[in-house]
Structure formats: C-alpha cells, structure tokens
Amino acid sequence: MSSANETIADSHSPARANGTFCPQTRRKFVLVAAILASALGFIDGSILAIAMPALRVDLGASLAEAQWISNAYALTLSALILAGGAAGDRFGLRRAFVTGIALFIAASLACAVAPNPAILIAFRAIQGIGAAIMVPGSLAIIAKAYPKKERGRAIGIWAAASALTTALGPVLGGFVLTTFGNGVWRAIFAINLPLGLISIYLLLAKVPADQPTEKRSLDLGGAALATLAFGSLAYGLTAMNAEGGGMMAGPAIIAGVVLLFVFILYERWQREPMIDLGLFRISAFAGANLATFFLYFALSANLFYLPMVLIAGWGLSSAEVGFIFLPLSASIALLSGPVGQWSDKIGPRLPIAAGSFIVAIAFAGLALLSHAGIHRFWTGAFPLMALMGLGMALVVSPLSTAVMTSVEDKDTGAASGINNAVSRVGGLIAVAAMGSLAAFVYARLTGNPVGIPGFGEPPAAGLAANLDALRITASDSAFAAVAAVTTLLCVLSSIVAWLTVPGQASPWPRQGDHSGE
C-alpha cells in the first residue's frame, strides 16, 4: 500500500518541472536497469566469439553456419535499430524498453536450448530484433529520466559500468568454458534471464511510465527493405565459400545491391523515413560514416575470427583468449574522457586519423605474426590487441563528436542513430566477406583432404600429425589474409577521416555547407 501511495505522490513530484518523467528517488532504478540491459548485449556479443569453437564442436556447425550465428543477430539489429529507437518515441520509452528486453531474454532462452545450428540462427535473428529496441532505449531512458544538470554524470556511470561488463564478460566466460567444457556455451545465453528479469522488475515496479513524445509513424517498410538488402548481401558473401553453397553467391549479391537501391529510393519517397538521406550531402557527416564503416568492418572481422584461430589453430584455452577483449574495453573506459577533451580543443580530425592508423599497425602486426606462424600470445598477440585498444580509444569519442556536430542540433539524434547502424552493418558485412576469404585461403592450402576440419574448427582426436600441421599452417595463413585486408581498410579509414573531418573544433560545417572544412 505504501508503494502505491509513493507512486501517486511521485506522479505529483517536481520531476515534470525538471523536464523529466521520473522523480529523483526513482532515477537510480532507471540507471541500474539500463546498465543491466546494456550488459545483456555487450556480454552476449563478446563471449560468443570466444565460445564459437566450442559451440561448433558441440552442434557440429560449419564455418558458414558459425558466420550466420553471428550475422543473424547483427542483421536484424543493424537493419531495425533506427526503427527501434523511433518506437520509444512513439509508444513511450519504458514500454518499448521493457518489450525489447523481454523479447531479447525470451530469444536467449530459446538459443540456450537450440538443438542444431539452424534453430540457433533463427532465434539469434529474433534476439537481434529485441536488441534493436533495447539498445537505443538504454541510453535514451537515462537521458529522459535525468535533468540536464545530472545527465552527464548518469551517462558516465552507465558508460563506465558498460565498459566494465564488456571487459570482464569474456574473461569470466573464457574461464567457465575452459573449466566446464564445450557444452557450457549454452550458459552464455541462459545468464541473460536473471539479468533481464531484474531489469524488467525495476522498470515496471520502481519507475513510472513516461509519455510518448512523438506520434510519428514507424518506417516498417524501410526496415523490411533494409533487412532484405543486407541479408541478401550477407548471404551472398557467405556463400562465396564452398561450405556456404557457392552457386548462389552471385545472384544473392546482385539481389542485395538491387534491394539496396530500392531501399534508398523508398526512403527518399517516404514522408517520415527511417534514414534522412539528406544528411549524407554533408561531406563531414558522409566522411565520418565512411570512416566508421571501414574501421568497424576491420574491428569486427578481427574480433570474430581471431579467437577461432587462437583456440582452434594455436591451441590456446578459452580462458586465455578471453583476455584479448580486455585492452579494448579498458582503453576506451580510461581514455575516452581525456581524448574527448583533447578533441574538443583541436578538432576530431587528428584523433580519428591517428587512431585508425594505430589500429592498422596493430592488425598488420597480427597479419605478420600469423603469416610467420609465430604462436606467441602474451608477448605477441596480446600486446598488439593492447595497441589496437589504444587506437580505438583515440577514435571512439572524437568520431561521435564529428558525426553529431556535422549536422544541425535538431538532427543530432538521427545522426547518432545512423552512425550506430553504419558501424553494425560494417560488422555484418565483415563477418560474411572475411569468412569467405579465410575459407578460400584455407581450402587452397589444405586441398580439403578427408578428415581435416574446416577453418576455425578444432581438430578431432586422432588427426594425423602431418594433417594437423597442415591445418595449423593453413589456419595461420587464412587469418593473415583477413588481417592484411582489414589493415588496408583501417588505413583507408584514416585517409577518409583526414580528408573529410574538420580539423578545428569550431566553426563546424552545418547543413548546406558541403565543403567539409
């Protein structure tokens, strides 16, 4: 009864006068719920890369199926994330956020009991739909619950907690996989249930409902076209390797390109489009997003395929490999603030260009290490990943600044959402395309003799020593090819940023100024 009275009292509190829907006594519950919900996505993505070799052994998944276990989630998340953000404005943030979390954890439970790769892929796609509603809602509900004078501190706590979960998740997950064996990969999905339920409880029992801010229509047609376009491209790129069914690669890629053009025309025709294509006429905005695509393509490819090579090729334990994500998370958490201040003084051009080039050096080092067959983790791969983390820390904050300050203030939300989607589309295409490259190099070097496992797949017991040596050499060369291509893309990201992103903190080009300077 007291809780109900408190809720009634809260509805007449000064919260509305402060421009928020949430009274001060309830804001901490919003923050905790947002942190827990963010942890779902961060932990799920990073641990899955480490668990993939174990998952493949347990389910008998091919490389193409492993790619789709990642890409089914990335496809629906990247294609629907803008519509998911708009759903919060239309239906209310709390309602949309709870719906996204509920769908995410329901799909996670289905993933945890999936009997085969096909079922797992299907529910990973549904999990991505939940994430498309949940991910933008996490930060948006904090911004709406806290007044402006307290918002920065709340977002800082959220970012620090998210970085901590991202850093520790793979380490703990790798330890669990090493200790309890291959079948425990299912716990990665099952852990989402308690975290999600606590978040939902806090939102429904402790946080008042907010009012919808806009009655804009959801661009479901655009979302469907984007899903079909990127799905066709990913399917075609995955099918380029023999395991993926090579004959369909060409038609699928052509269909994807055609659907992408249809999507662009549809968005230009829409009165309330999912993506404001006019923003891409601003050179600084277009350049920042192109740099984002190249950089996150490279990052996603390496973070997906490097754990496979380290575990299946180098023979490292999942517990050791879990540490490769630690430098990235720690560097971003510790350096983003100082780098952001530095970027404010000199403009984002130098930090983004320098950071992308540092990431290129790190990936070039991984390529050389793998090509030479030097299996040194703590004195080789790990320091290079630390260098990569330093480079990404130089990029993350200035890149967000460059994107949002290249447009008018009224368009900053749309610009941020587009950039988020671009980074995820880059990851989707990377896993598809680089998997086919790795499979091609691996098959060319091994000749696919009977009994030898596919790229990134641990060997079966009793594999002949000569075949195992051939497998390891081919695995190293395949990853070296991936790392070499992604090195070039990071260099391209650096060049694009240098040529298009403004070099001074002010004045910034606004809409209608296409000079980029």
DSSP-assigned states of every residue in 51-116: HHHHHHHHHT--HHHHHHHHHHHHHHHHHHHHHHHHHHHHH-HHHHHHHHHHHHHHHHHHHHT-SS
Q: Indicate the range of 6-20, 141-155, 348-362, 453-467 predicted with least confidence.
A: 6-20
Burial of 448 (0-12, 13-18, 19+ CB in 10 A): exposed
Q: Please give the structure tokens belonging to residue 291.
A: 């740099």
What pLDDT shows up at residue 118?
95
188 closest CA partner among 320, 41, 47, 329:
47
Average pLDDT over residues 493-501: 96
Summary mean pLDDT of the chain: 86
| Alpha-carbon gap, residue 226 to 424, rounded angstroms | 13
Q: Could you report the per-residue pLDDT of 55-80, keeping only the tens digit for each? A: 998 998 989 899 999 999 999 999 99
The H or E element containing residue 270 is none
Q: Is the pLDDT of residue 33 over 50?
A: yes
Interacting residues of 4 by C-beta distance below 8 A, sequence separation 6+: none
What pLDDT shows up at residue 105?
95
Q: Please give the structure tokens belonging to residue 320.
A: 């050791």
What pLDDT shows up at residue 255?
94
Neighbours of 487 (CB within 10 A): 22
What pLDDT shows up at residue 243?
55
Q: How far is CA 255 from the centre of its chain?
A: 25
Percentage of the chain beyond pLDDT 70 is 91
Q: Indicate the range of 2-11, 332-341, 449-458 predicted with least confidence.
A: 2-11
Q: Could you report the per-residue pLDDT of 176-204, keeping only the tens digit for each? A: 888 887 788 898 888 889 999 999 999 99
Q: Is the pLDDT of residue 124 over 90?
A: yes
Q: Indicate the range of 380-389, 396-405, 445-454, 465-474 predicted with least confidence.
A: 445-454
Which is higher by pLDDT, 422 or 244?
422
Using an 8 Å Cβ cutoff, are 163 and 333 in contact? yes
Q: How confident is the model at residue 509 (pLDDT cuts 50, 70, 90)?
A: very low
513 closest CA partner among 366, 405, 395:
405
Q: Is the pLDDT of residue 285 over 90?
A: yes
Which is higher by pLDDT, 488 or 327?
488
What pLDDT shows up at residue 246?
62
Contacts 24+ apart (CB under 8 A), 383-387: 385/324, 385/327, 385/328, 386/327, 386/331, 387/358, 387/361, 387/362
Using an 8 Å Cβ cutoff, are 385 and 331 in contact? no
Average pLDDT over residues 260-271: 91
497 closest CA partner among 489, 485, 506:
489
In this structure, what DSSP letter does residue 501 have? S
Using an 8 Å Cβ cutoff, are 70 and 127 in contact? no
| Alpha-carbon gap, residue 172 to 52, rounded angstroms | 15
Burial of 136 (0-12, 13-18, 19+ CB in 10 A): buried
Q: Is the pLDDT of residue 506 over 50?
A: no
What pLDDT shows up at residue 447?
80
Interacting residues of 464 by C-beta distance below 8 A, sequence separation 6+: 451
Average pLDDT over residues 318-326: 90
Average pLDDT over residues 270-275: 84
| Alpha-carbon gap, residue 442 to 455, rounded angstroms | 6
Q: Is the pLDDT of residue 306 over 90?
A: yes
Q: Is the pLDDT of residue 2 over 80?
A: no
Which is higher by pLDDT, 486 or 342?
486
Q: Please give the structure tokens belonging to residue 454.
A: 């596919």
Q: Could you report the per-residue pLDDT of 80-102, keeping only the tens digit for each? A: 988 888 888 788 889 999 999 99
Question: Does the N-terminal peptide bond of residue 507 adopt cis geometry, omega within 30 degrees of 0?
Answer: yes
Q: Is the pLDDT of residue 9 over 70?
A: no
What pLDDT shows up at residue 450?
61
Which is higher by pLDDT, 344 or 11?
344
Q: Is the pLDDT of residue 19 over 70?
A: no
**398-420 in b/e burial notation, b at 16+ Cβ within 10 A?**
bbbbbbbbbbeeebebbbbbbbb
Q: How confident is the model at residue 480 (pLDDT cuts 50, 70, 90)?
A: very high
